[in-house]
Amino acid sequence: MGISTDNAASKSMYALTAGALGALARINAEFYAVAAKTQGMTKNDFTVIVQTLYPSVNSAEQIRILDQLWAANASPPIGHSDSSSCT
């Protein structure tokens, strides 16, 4: 079952599993996707987001994630020659 709006989508699902000893378990999973406008956001804003979303990841991996997000933010969206033409 999923739900979507203008800038967000979510999907919930579950799996029933049985272990070798016959124990039954239900595993719930929630998936979210959100579109965000990042114009005007600073590298510090992205740093805060990465630190908040990935607190258990080591700092080298957090820096890699941050650099990837920052580079994607600097690239124009697909289908646009530059980001100034996007609203």
Q: What is the mean pLDDT of residues 76-83?
A: 56
Domain ranges of the chain: 1-35, 37-76
- Please tell me which residue, 77 or 16, carries the higher pLDDT value: 16
Q: What is the pLDDT of residues 46-70, one digit of tens each?
A: 999 999 989 999 999 999 999 999 9
User: How far is it, in rounded angstroms, from Cα 61 to Cα 85?
Assistant: 33
- Note the pTM of the prediction, 2 decimals: 0.51
